[in-house]
């Protein structure tokens, strides 16, 4: 067990070193290879002298600081412009769930659509995307409704919304239920708007029977004419089948977008 005083001193030293790396990188006196090299050095040093529990606390503390700084930077951006990759990388690292989080292009596309309309946005599957969309589009009035089946996950996302004072998102607990042949969220429809103009589909988790397919049968009557539906993970066969089925039901054509990680887009007839 590491004494609290020793850990605090370590943290101060690490903070100073990180600020130094950041300052030098900002002045372009550090290349990204050099920056990477210093971080590796810092990690090796920590591994050599700190027990695993202290390293974990240090890592979490570093993630929290990085997230806080990245949120501050993100708030100052013009949301009509692309999100700088390094800001997104910091948000993603700070959030700490990168293999499950929506990628930059999907989030940017959602923000682009969101800035051209004032209609409500429905998100299926909360997390980092909820925080970023809330920062970019939320404003002071609720505009984003996010469905989350997992109570623990919901609490984590809600804590971040509260921490950053993001008020334009209503995060709703929507447990999964069986609809006869597939499962999907149980949305509290009486608390939700009559029509959505944008939907981002990044849940329920891929292991759910029927996957994300339930969106159109369950929420179809709340999708406004011209509504854009964005479906993540379209590289998966199940999502491709879902997209094709939705397109047939809604009378529209699917489009594949995203150059790094593809996602699908459907636009309902206007």
Ligand X SMILES: C[S@@+](CC[C@H](N)C(=O)[O-])C[C@H]1O[C@@H](n2cnc3c(N)ncnc32)[C@H](O)[C@@H]1O
Residues that bind ligand X (CB under 6 A): 97, 100-102, 125-129, 148-150, 153, 202-203, 205
Least Å distance, CB 127 to ligand X, is 2
Contact between 227 and 188 (Cβ < 8 Å): no
Strand-pair partners of 172: 147
What gap in Å lies between CA 158 and CA 166, rounded to an integer? 9
Q: Which of 102, 192 has the CB closer to ligand X?
A: 102
Least Å distance, CB 169 to ligand X, is 12
Q: Which of 30, 125 has the CB closer to ligand X?
A: 125
Contact between 266 and 235 (Cβ < 8 Å): no
Q: Which of 30, 172 has the CB closer to ligand X?
A: 172
Cα distance between the two ends of the chain = 63
Q: Which of 100, 179 has the CB closer to ligand X?
A: 100
Question: Which of 185, 201, 197 is CA-nearest to residue 223?
Answer: 197
Q: Which of 30, 174 has the CB closer to ligand X?
A: 174
Instruction: Say which DSSP state 168 is in.
Output: S
Q: Within a 10 A sphere around the Cβ of 91, how many other Cβ atoms?
A: 25
Q: Which residue is nearest to ligand X (CB)?
A: 127
What gap in Å lies between CA 188 and CA 22, rounded to an integer? 45
Least Å distance, CB 218 to ligand X, is 16
Q: Which of 120, 134 has the CB closer to ligand X?
A: 134
Least Å distance, CB 91 to ligand X, is 10
Least Å distance, CB 83 to ligand X, is 14
Least Å distance, CB 101 to ligand X, is 4
Structure tokens at 179: 């609809």
| H or E stretch at 161 | helix 151-163
């Amino acid at each position: 067990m590491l004494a609290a005083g020793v850990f605090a001193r370590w943290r101060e030293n690490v903070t100073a070193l990180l600020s130094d790396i950041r300052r030098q990188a900002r002045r372009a006196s550090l290349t990204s290879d050099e920056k990477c090299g210093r971080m590796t050095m810092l990690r090796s040093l920590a591994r050599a002298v700190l027990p695993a529990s202290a390293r974990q606390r240090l890592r979490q503390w570093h993630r929290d600081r990085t997230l806080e700084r990245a949120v501050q930077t993100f708030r100052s951006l013009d949301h009509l412009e692309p999100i700088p990759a390094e800001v997104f990388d910091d948000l993603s690292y700070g959030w700490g769930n990168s293999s499950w989080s929506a990628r930059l292009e999907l989030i940017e596309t959602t923000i682009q659509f969101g800035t051209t309309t004032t209609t409500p946005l429905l998100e299926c599957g909360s997390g980092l995307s909820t925080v970023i969309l809330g920062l970019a589009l939320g404003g002071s009035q609720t505009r984003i409704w996010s469905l989350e089946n997992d109570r623990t996950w919901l609490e984590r996302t809600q804590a971040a919304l509260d921490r950053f004072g993001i008020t334009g998102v209503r995060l709703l607990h929507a447990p999964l239920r069986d609809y006869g042949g597939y499962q999907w969220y149980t949305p509290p429809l009486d608390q939700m708007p009559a029509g959505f103009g944008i939907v981002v589909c990044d849940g329920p988790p891929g292991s759910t029977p029927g996957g994300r397919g339930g969106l159109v049968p369950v929420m179809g009557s709340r999708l406004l004419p011209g509504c854009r539906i964005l479906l993540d993970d379209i590289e998966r066969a199940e999502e491709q089948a879902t997209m094709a089925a939705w397109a047939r039901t809604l009378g529209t054509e699917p489009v594949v977008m995203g150059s790094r990680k593809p996602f699908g887009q459907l636009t309902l007839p206007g």
